[in-house]
DNA sequence: ACCTGAACACCGTTCAAGT
DNA sequence: ACCTGAACACCGTTCAAGT
């Protein structure tokens, strides 16, 4: 399963101390993001990891790179979960089950997603930029199957689906709120649930 | 019409130089936000306004206060627009016409909304904190009327409506995109538009 | 009462010197 | 090839001194 955020695919092997330092930095960043939020000084991450600050910049040129690396595993898990759901009996339920996991993921990392916005590209959050590709392909397959089953509107694109879903997750006050907002969006403000009947 | 962001309701009158400085700062901030984005150095705002930097802090203690003051007029206009729409023939169309203006407003100020997030309260954007009250009461009246007309789901709350709507606006790539996403949300992912019939 | 600009603190980024 | 920590630059905030 291809996933975003996997660092380093260079040819020759990396020196063992460099590999160890990268791991220490990731562990320190994970801890400090939890403890003090996504704006924690990068020097502090380096200090806790026991390396010089410039070493952090060598491995992770921007704060965003660090954030993405820290949560790469979780994104991979989410995509794997989506791959498993592609076999589920009900294509409609499969899609919305995955979206449910997705909004929880985004809502939980909300602060990090916003902190990862770059100055030059203020239109996109870190989630939408770096993790978007793998998320998008996962969502795309689930959506296509749900569409064939008639469980979603034929005109709904993946991009719109993901934009709306992550927008709701970012606007939500927490994971539970995000899941509730997703349920509302599924049937719309008008609340119509009729005509489509029991599909899938 | 009560609105957010109106500065200064102190008793005794303000010295004329203080009033002039506040105006200069607002004008300079408006220009620089347009030219260089919401992260422009505050010292630069003060310099363009022709005042000392500490004067800026006296009038607007946080960057957020400055942002809110700059866009207070626009928020007021949006609320007035909502007040006018409360008389419209179709309650459902009135609500969605206003929401259409609302998403354009939020999408246009998207970067500012995100820049206004505080460190201590990372759950809310500036829009949701400072302009929320007046927006909320406007939306509330339009929603109540639309609900009585059966144009929206009976269980839809103002808070959920505004959370979803502004979330879509923030996730959108621009004003046009935001309007499109609003239309999708209105009827939901399932695309059902049936059962409710021609209400309003 | 309000203004000023310099001083201070903090943090991201770079770089010369090491191994 | 990689690491180090000090130096640099930038910006928000405060404060002593002015009017």
Mean pLDDT value across residues A126-148: 84
**Interchain CB distance below 8 Å, A190 and B196:** yes
pLDDT at position B189 is 87
> Which CATH topology does A1-61 take?
Arc Repressor Mutant, subunit A (1.10.10)
Q: How many residues are present in chain A?
A: 200
Q: What is the pLDDT of residues A56-84, one digit of tens each?
A: 999 999 888 898 899 888 999 999 999 99
> Which CATH topology does B63-200 take?
Tetracycline Repressor; domain 2 (1.10.357)
Tell me the chain B residues in contact with residue A180 when contact means C-beta distances shorter than 8 Å: 160
Tell me the chain A residues in contact with residue B166 when contact means C-beta distances shorter than 8 Å: 171
Helix (H) or strand (E) holding B62: none
pLDDT at position A162 is 94
Distance in Å, alpha carbon of B176 to nearest chain A alpha carbon: 13
Distance in Å, alpha carbon of A140 to nearest chain B alpha carbon: 14
| pLDDT classification of A87: cutoffs 50, 70, 90 | very high
Taking the domains of chain B in order of start, what are their residue ranges? 1-61, 63-200
pLDDT at position B62 is 86
Same fold, A1-61 and A63-200: no
N-term to C-term CA, chain B: 26
Q: What is the pLDDT of residues A145-157, one digit of tens each?
A: 999 999 999 999 9
**Interchain CB distance below 8 Å, B189 and A156:** yes
CB atoms within 10 A of CB A189: 26
- Please say if the pLDDT value at position B68 is more than 90: no
State the Cα–Cα distance between residues B46 and B63, nearest whole angstrom.
Answer: 12
Mean pLDDT value across residues B11-22: 78
pLDDT at position B143 is 97
Mean pLDDT value across residues A148-170: 94
pLDDT at position A16 is 85
Mean pLDDT value across residues A82-89: 95
Most confident of A9-18, A111-120, B128-137, B148-157: B148-157
Q: What is the pLDDT of residues A20-61, one digit of tens each?
A: 999 999 999 999 998 988 889 999 999 999 999 999 999 999
CB distance A75 to A158 below 8 Å: no
């Amino acid at each position: 399963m291809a996933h975003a955020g996997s660092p380093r695919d260079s040819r020759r092997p990396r020196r063992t101390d460099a590999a160890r330092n990268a791991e220490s930095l990731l562990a320190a960043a994970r801890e400090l993001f939890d403890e003090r939020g996504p704006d924690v000084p990068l020097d502090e991450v380096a200090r806790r990891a026991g390396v010089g600050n410039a070493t952090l910049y060598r491995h992770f040129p921007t704060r965003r790179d660090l954030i993405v690396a820290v949560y790469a595993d979780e994104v991979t898990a989410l995509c794997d979960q989506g791959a498993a759901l592609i076999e589920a009996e009900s294509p409609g339920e499969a899609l919305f089950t995955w979206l449910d996991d997705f909004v929880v993921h985004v809502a939980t990392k909300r602060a990090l997603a916003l902190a990862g916005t770059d100055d030059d590209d203020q239109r996109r959050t870190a989630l939408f930029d770096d993790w978007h590709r793998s998320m998008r392909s996962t969502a795309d397959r689930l959506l296509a199957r749900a569409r064939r089953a008639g469980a979603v509107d034929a005109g709904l694109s993946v991009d719109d689906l993901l934009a709306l879903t992550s927008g709701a997750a970012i606007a939500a006050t927490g994971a539970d709120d995000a899941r509730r907002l997703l349920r509302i969006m599924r049937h719309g403000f008008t609340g119509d649930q009729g005509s489509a009947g029991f599909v899938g």
